[in-house]
Amino acid sequence: MNVHSFTELNDIIDRLVDKEKDKLYAKRILNMTNEMNINGYFSEKDNCIHFSDKGKLQLTKSKVSMIFYNKSDEDCSYNRKYESIKNDNFHIQLSDNSKLWEIVQNRFKLIY
């Protein structure tokens, strides 16, 4: 696994994401992980920035989504309004909603 610098990851976002709003959301995730000292690396195989074993930021031209890995073998809870579960993982399509960002921050802290 090759860790990319904060600057390299920002450049990758600028290159791959078309919409300015989506760039801002993706960079907000980068800032959040940077503050928590969570390293990230970009994989061209799936167009995602991976954050160790916590999750990945999925980059497409039309949207950005944060996918958190579900490590629980027990019951788990999620917010149906902002999160969906696919392949046992929590998917959050990023948008300009303060509650959504609270959930993202808490997910990083839970897995942190």
Helix (H, G, I), strand (E, B) or coil at 26: helix
Residue 90 β-bridge partners: 68, 85
CATH code for position 57: 3.90.1150
Q: What is the pLDDT of residues 55-108, one digit of tens each?
A: 999 998 889 999 999 887 787 889 999 999 999 999 999 999 999 999 999 999
Residue 60: half-sphere exposure toward Cβ, Cα within 13 Å: 7
The domain containing residue 39 runs over which residues?
Answer: 6-111
1 falls within a domain: no
Cα distance between residue 54 and residue 86, in whole Å: 16
pTM: 0.91
Number of domain units in the chain: 1
